[in-house]
Structure 1
């Protein structure tokens, strides 16, 4: 077991590298950086709580952590080195609600990653953020997303299709549908007509299948065809940060039409139900 003293601003590069019996570490809410190779091959470290002050994770920080299967990335993290989780056992990852981007390189070469939760606050999927995540077969992209950067999902060989929100206006080179610089055979992009998703698919000779436009009434948060107290509960759970609750239609959720989803929309939906 190890404790970083409160007041520290970083976990030093290499600090615990090859500490093969380390099972528990406490990192205080003053740390802004987890240094490069700081937990390299800490083979018995099965969990770690990253502080909500963290902004950077260095390269290979958790490389070889063969007991680490899940992690939550704080919303404050904006920078990561390559191979942070290379050689780890990481299977599931959650980006904290409130994050605006998935940092460049964050999960590059996390070859055991099968599930990732990206909140409805993320606007950018960074370059090479899921590069070589060979077991990641699917991902749900938030409808706040505007940019998928270069090689974001390249070499995700288990991924045979992806659904692109109409909000996406930028694709980097080989952003999706590529492996080793070539289009994956049979790859399908699902998206909306006359959007950047269709343009990207056409340009890269990737099969494009158009989705039908959704028409969900204002206030029908859970998209069950009616507006009732369950929609109020759903929105409250979403606003509380519960990752199990995902807003699929922002127009339905933005009940008061002010361009944001907040407690005022809860009040508006209650008013709709009452009337």
Structure 2
């Protein structure tokens, strides 16, 4: 196996081995033993990485230490069956340059009981295979990924696997591979007061955060450690499903690693410092980010970096040269991208897959502009309108607000025009369940507010209606926090349950033609319109008060005669409205699940077909395939 290796001896020493026809060994005194121990290791050069992988070790000694470099290049991996059938091997020490253990890296070594692997990030399936003496295994803090088959097989005496605190996702993955096993998973607690685990970068210029924990209600990446800057957030460093209000990044940070903030929930807005050059794949995926402010130094954004977030609009800085495929996949609310001029032609729908706003759809498509060419006024208008999903009405002369995408906004003013067309309709459920929304101003151009338009906006306490409004739909303001409502004179129709369950509502200013819509509410004051008369003197004011008092007395007498019936009617109306809304929500949720199930089924069928077509061949799995598996696994877990 080592026939390609040759040891050269200087000519002046050649006579020392003359006539040694039967010599089979050369021994060296001292602790290290064999003078030619390094000849028992074979390294394979990896062209893409410009580094080496340990291919085979035939040095059957109690302890084997693998060098960090070979021929001036780093050793970064241990290959399949690299340590195989070594009966004397008890301990293996790997350098921190080794980041991957391939499948069955340690196979059938009956005496192997300890493996030191301080830098390993990925452990492939069955890396520890049939090791009789292995009783405990410590997964290093650097490890973020394990193979689909599990990391151990046939290790009958293995009792415990130790994992570091903050790696709960990794723990769940390993647990799923050990179903039915008696192996115990033990968590290694972090040191008291330690919120981060660091690793010195290879060039010694700064540190990488390997593992981090929230501080209070925020994640704050430190600016420095031991006098050197923190330049990188490592893979899965904060990807433990933390719920926080803020993510704070330091000014000296240069790289955000793969899945660094994946699954983190709570923050609505994230600011990327100017120093950051690279955002790797899945960095903020499956989170709640609705607004991201990119720094001027950004160069590249990796695959699925902001997958399944809540982005509404994007401004990509001039320095960005590479936006990976699917970087903003499944941002269903994304509608505006401002990009560098050179990048605009390269942005295609694949980079914004599964958004509800397709590139080729009607006026409401994802709109891509050049940052340098768009005027400041136009930019502000587009970014403001990005929060509204609008559709052109059939008459081609007006626009309906179909949906509102809140993002980070709490106060909203609906535009009077969109692309030179008046906004005339607030569609059904357009602002439905927009929690956190506190105030809305509608323009005079709006004539219709659809059914359930503002339903369940539980924080909405100020709503200003335009003077052109004609109709208000059923349950339009159901369960809002509105305290005072002014209905303009132009309104002719108000639907049932318009202000049902608005417990904070105390005063409604309403025109006489629709006052009856509020006759059976618990309002303190219902103020009628008195036409064009101005209540400028005391007699007029007294007459108005007397008329309103008479109305209240008449209403009280009518209510007293059928108090029980009215109470039951109100309760029934509330129940009916609640049932109808819940029924719609369930139908919507079931419809979404059906669509996702069908998509996943098609995807899995395609993958099975690929496997059948390539039977007997060694499949080279691309980064896209790995990404699909990541996504499929996440989707199945959600459904």
TM-score, L = length of structure 1: 0.52
* Higher alpha-carbon Rg: 2
Superimposed CA distance per residue, residues 203-238 of structure 1 (whole angstroms, 9 cap, x where no aligned partner): xxxxxxxx994699xxxxxxxxxxxxxxxxxxxxxx
Matches within 5 A, 1:1-275: 12-13=141-142, 15-17=164-166, 25=195, 32-35=207-210, 38-39=211-212, 46-51=218-223, 52-59=229-236, 61-72=238-249, 76-78=253-255, 80-82=257-259, 84-110=261-287, 112-133=288-309, 135-168=310-343, 171=346, 174-179=349-354, 183=358, 186-191=364-369, 213=373
Gaps of 5+ in 2: 1-118, 120-139, 143-162, 169-188, 201-205, 224-228, 377-639
CA drift of 1:117 comes to: 1.6
Work out whether residues 218 and 248 of structure 2, in 8 Å CA contact, stay in contact via their aligned partners in 1: no
Work out whether residues 268 and 289 of structure 2, in 8 Å CA contact, stay in contact via their aligned partners in 1: yes
In structure 1, distance between residues paired with 2:349 and 2:271: 24
CA drift of 1:131 comes to: 1.2
In structure 1, distance between residues paired with 2:342 and 2:232: 26
Gaps of 5+ in 1: 1-8, 193-210, 217-275
In structure 1, distance between residues paired with 2:271 and 2:372: 29
Higher relative contact order (CA 8 A, sep 6+): 1
Cα-Cα RMSD: 4.2
CA drift of 1:100 comes to: 2.2
In structure 2, distance between residues paired with 1:140 and 1:213: 13
CA drift of 1:130 comes to: 0.9
Superimposed CA distance per residue, residues 97-152 of structure 1 (whole angstroms, 9 cap, x where no aligned partner): 12223222211112x1122121112122222111111x111121112222211111
Q: Residues 213 and 43 (structure 1 numbering): CA distance in 2 closer, same or farther, change over 3 Å? A: closer
TM-score, L = length of structure 2: 0.25
Q: Residues 39 and 176 (structure 1 numbering): CA distance in 2 closer, same or farther, change over 3 Å? A: same
Superimposed CA distance per residue, residues 232-262 of structure 1 (whole angstroms, 9 cap, x where no aligned partner): xxxxxxxxxxxxxxxxxxxxxxxxxxxxxxx
In structure 1, distance between residues paired with 2:274 and 2:256: 17
Task: Determine which structure has the larger helix proportion and give its number.
Answer: 2
Work out whether residues 234 and 260 of structure 2, in 8 Å CA contact, stay in contact via their aligned partners in 1: no
Superimposed CA distance per residue, residues 69-103 of structure 1 (whole angstroms, 9 cap, x where no aligned partner): 22216654435233733043232222221222322
Q: Residues 171 and 86 (structure 1 numbering): CA distance in 2 closer, same or farther, change over 3 Å? A: farther
Work out whether residues 118 and 142 of structure 1, in 8 Å CA contact, stay in contact via their aligned partners in 2: yes
Q: Residues 32 and 24 (structure 1 numbering): CA distance in 2 closer, same or farther, change over 3 Å? A: closer
Task: Determine which structure has the larger strand proportion and give its number.
Answer: 2
Work out whether residues 332 and 357 of structure 2, in 8 Å CA contact, stay in contact via their aligned partners in 1: no
In structure 2, distance between residues paired with 1:212 and 1:147: 18
In structure 2, distance between residues paired with 1:215 and 1:87: 35
Superimposed CA distance per residue, residues 159-206 of structure 1 (whole angstroms, 9 cap, x where no aligned partner): 1222222032784775533217994764223235xxxxxxxxxxxxxx
- Provide the aligned length of Structure 1 versus Structure 2: 185
Q: Residues 97 and 151 (structure 1 numbering): CA distance in 2 closer, same or farther, change over 3 Å? A: same
In structure 2, distance between residues paired with 1:109 and 1:47: 17
In structure 2, distance between residues paired with 1:68 and 1:132: 18
Work out whether residues 132 and 154 of structure 1, in 8 Å CA contact, stay in contact via their aligned partners in 2: yes
In structure 1, distance between residues paired with 2:311 and 2:305: 12
